[in-house]
Amino acid sequence: MSSQDFLFELFTEELPPRTLSGLSAALTAGVTKGIDDAGVPHGKVQGFATPRRLAVLVRKLAEHQPDKQVERRGPPLKASFDAQGVPTQAAIAFAKNCAVPVTELTQVKTDKGEWLMFRGIERGAATASLLAHIVNQAVAALPIAKRMRWGARSVEFVRPVHGVILLFGETVIPAEVLGLAAGRITFGHRFHAPKALTLKTAKDYERRLRRAKVVADFDARRELIRAGVTAAAAATAEGATALIETDLLDEVTALVEWPVPIAGQYEQRFLGLPREVVIATVQDHQRYFAVQGADGQLSGWFVTVSNIASRDPSKVRAGNERVVRPRLSDAAFFWEQDLKLSLDAHAARLGGVTFQAKLGSYAEKTQRVQALAQTIGVRIGAGSLVERAAALAKADLMTAMVGEFPELQGTMGRYYAAAQGEPHELALALEEHYRPRYAGDSLPTTKTGQAVALADKIDTLVGIFAIEQRPTGTKDPFGLRRSALGVLRILLEGRLEMDLCELLEEAAAAQPVRRPGVVGEVYDFIAERLRGMLLEEAGTTPEMLDAVFANRPRSPLDAVTRLQALKEFLGVPEAGVLAAINKRIANILRKTAPAGDAAVDAAALTEDAERQLHQVLSDLRVPVQNAAAQRRYADSLKALVALRAPVDLFFERVMVMDENIERRNNRLALLRDVQQLLGGVADLSRLPG
């Protein structure tokens, strides 16, 4: 089957750099899916993305869909011909629909009767006739948060589009995309090669752009930048290295088409600023890569990536140095001004900043966090610094530095606390209480930091749930999912045994908005995150988690311990039998529960089997419950194996639903006691068996 390369390009104004890579991946996936859904064979699919274009190149795309064998069943044979064998109107209409005469239809016999059948070949459509629809669908499905219109056009896209290429081999597909007729013209670098490029064939795309000073492949351009920045940094001093963060590298890649790394310097006096301040200024404001020396300290050098190969690189260097200097000077000014006030003075102004309209100011939140952090601190042995650390935790929000660099909240609190002579653990806790800030982030390392971090996150969770602003879909403006995962990671990885329900209740009681049921809602929200974490572990099944969480364990660490014991218990041969017994008992009690909470009347037990079960139950109750109370859940579960034989005998020889109501209720109460003992660690009825 003959094939051609296919090229689709949107030539645009500068695209949003932080979403460029995602847009390119989505467009490539959308075009690929459209072609695959159409059943057209093809080779490699490659996406391209630069600040001014999104493109997809499909290698060896077949010129036609494959032909398909088609079978269609028509009307029953008896309804297709009359007594003389003349085709009826039903047969004629079916044949016409299949575009063949009745004589070319076949007859088939099945166990349900005889039928007319059409067997034929459906010719595949020309690929060129499908491509316009495929690309338009892919463009419409792009994940664009905010679309825009331009000029007098009614079409919308993330940025104005000025050109479209739809090239199949050497042929332009006659189509319209985003209101523009497709052609074969694109453009190279804005300054190095501004003239229009007319492409003869799709396969020339990347080569022609490279000659026009555009590296169209996003990944290739990123690696060029990585290598160039690394080399430029190394040239500044022996052992020097560039700090190349992935997000910054991706953003810079999305800002340039022809990358040219250039090293520059700033004054040594700025190295007296906190390291994070210099890096934030250089990276976040200027999109430069900071450079550190062999000793791990910032060197005063940076690497910028220009989008032009200048005849005089020294001027580009000087220009970038001139731009970064006032930024660093501003940061130095903020640092000096902030240090003129104590953290207590900054904290005193938190009353003027709203945390959430219904939940009060940051000063009010600080008071709630203080009280809860002290409770937590006592439980985990955090010491005497917790109250003051909680009082100062949000103070740096009022500093000029954090106002300019919000991402440094906490970090600046640590520096300012150290500068005013606070204990090291307290200063560190001001930074640590925000952790973990994202998946994989480090956790608080101090008890003080753990206490304040837990209190802050729990207060936010309970407060936002109380005003019914819980996350919906992908929207989570208060980062509640992140807070819940943070609470779980601190408790589990720190091996902190805490009654989560008790903490949620204390936090709920302190909120300015109190709503019944909020504690249960937050518990379920956190438990759902914990289920997700545990389900990723090898050997964990949803049924195991259902069994463990049916008891609503009050501590995440306790839930994990129960799960581990349950996994161990399920390796015992009797485990499946006990799960089945528990399920049978649960079904009986679900239909007919014993009257009231009356205890089993041992004197009223009439059958040997029920008396034996009652005795074994009495003998097991104390050791099983003691083991569970001591968190020896595996021992507790293993002891329950002794119930198997008497329960089997009970069901074999005893009629539970006796006509005598008192006897029936006594037996139901006995089963209830068995169920309660079996479910002390986990609800075994939730397990298969």
| pLDDT tens sequence across 231-290 | 999 999 999 999 999 999 999 999 999 999 999 999 999 999 999 999 999 998 899 999
Round to whole Å and give the CA distance between 288 and 290: 6
Position 140 in a domain: yes
Asked if residue 571 belongs to a domain, the reply is yes
Q: Where residue 152 sits, what CATH number does that domain have?
A: 3.30.70
Looking at residues 392-411, what average pLDDT do you find? 96
663 neighbors 596 (Cβ within 8 angstroms):
no
- Quick check: is 224 in a domain? no
What is the secondary structure of 148-208 as a DSSP string? B--TT----BSS-EEEEEEEETTEEP--EETTEE-BSEEE--TTTS-SEEE-SSGGGHHHH
Question: Which of the four pLDDT bands, split at 50, 70 and 90, describes residue 223?
Answer: very high
Are the C-beta atoms of residues 447 and 381 closer than 8 Å to each other? yes
Length of the chain: 689
Does one domain contain both 531 and 634? no
DSSP for 377-434?
HHHHT--TTHHHHHHHTTGGGGSHHHHH-GGGTTHHHHHHHHHTT--HHHHHHHHHTT
| CB of 258 closer than 8 Å to CB of 189 | yes
Which of 304, 335, 366 delimits the end of a domain?
Answer: 335
Question: Which percentage of the chain shows pLDDT scores above 90?
Answer: 70
Distance of CA 186 to CAs 10, 146, 155, 178, 633, Å?
9, 26, 21, 16, 69
pLDDT, the chain, mean: 92
Same domain, 310 and 368: no
Q: Which one, of 20, 11, 27, lies nearest residue 162 by Cα?
A: 11
Residue 542: inside a domain? no
Residue with tokens 């809602």: 521
φ/ψ region of 178 (left if φ > 0, alpha if ψ in -120 to 50, else beta) reads: left
Task: Kindly tell me if the per-residue pLDDT of 182 is higher than 90.
Answer: yes
Q: Are residues 38 and 77 in the same domain?
A: no
Our count of domains for the chain comes to 5
Report the CATH number at residue 623. Answer: 1.10.730
Element (DSSP H or E) covering residue 637? helix 633-639
Residue 223 lies in a domain: no
Residue 553: cis peptide before it, omega within 30 degrees of 0: no
* Other beta carbons less than 10 A from residue 137's beta carbon: 14
398 near 343, Cβ under 8 Å?
Answer: no
Average pLDDT over residues 390-397: 97
- Give the pLDDT confidence score for residue 596 in this predicted structure: 63
Distance CA 263, CA 235 (A): 9
59/77 Cα distance (integer angstroms):
49
Are both 288 and 405 inside the same structural domain?
Answer: no
In a domain, 544, yes or no: no
* pLDDT at position 689: 61
In angstroms, rounded to a whole number, what is the distance separating the alpha carbons of residues 389 and 455?
A: 12
**pLDDT value of position 73:** 86
Residues 359 and 291 occupy one common structural domain = no
Q: 1 pLDDT band (50/70/90 cuts)? A: low
Q: Is the pLDDT of residue 370 over 70?
A: yes
- Residues 44, 107, single domain; the answer is no
| Within-domain flag for 551 | no
Task: Return the amino acid letter for 81.
Answer: F
Residue 412 shares a structural domain with residue 528 = yes
How does pLDDT run across 429-458, given as a tens digit for each residue?
999 999 999 888 999 999 999 999 999 999
Give pLDDT, residue 23.
97
In a domain, 222, yes or no: no
- Could you tell me if 117 and 132 lie in one domain? no
On whether both 281 and 390 belong to a single domain, the answer is no
* Tens digits of residue pLDDT in 17-74: 999 999 999 999 999 999 999 999 999 999 999 999 999 999 999 999 888 888 888 8
Residue at token pair 């057209």: 40
Q: What's the rounded Cα separation, in Å, for the pair 286 and 327?
A: 9
**Are 290 and 437 within one domain?**
no
Rg of the chain in Å (alpha carbons): 36
Its domain, for residue 83, covers 73-121
pLDDT in tens, 518-548: 999 999 999 999 999 999 988 899 999 999 9
Same domain flag for 114 and 250? no
Q: Are residues 409 and 492 in the same domain?
A: yes
- E strand residue ranges, 51-151: 53-62, 68-76, 106-110, 113-122
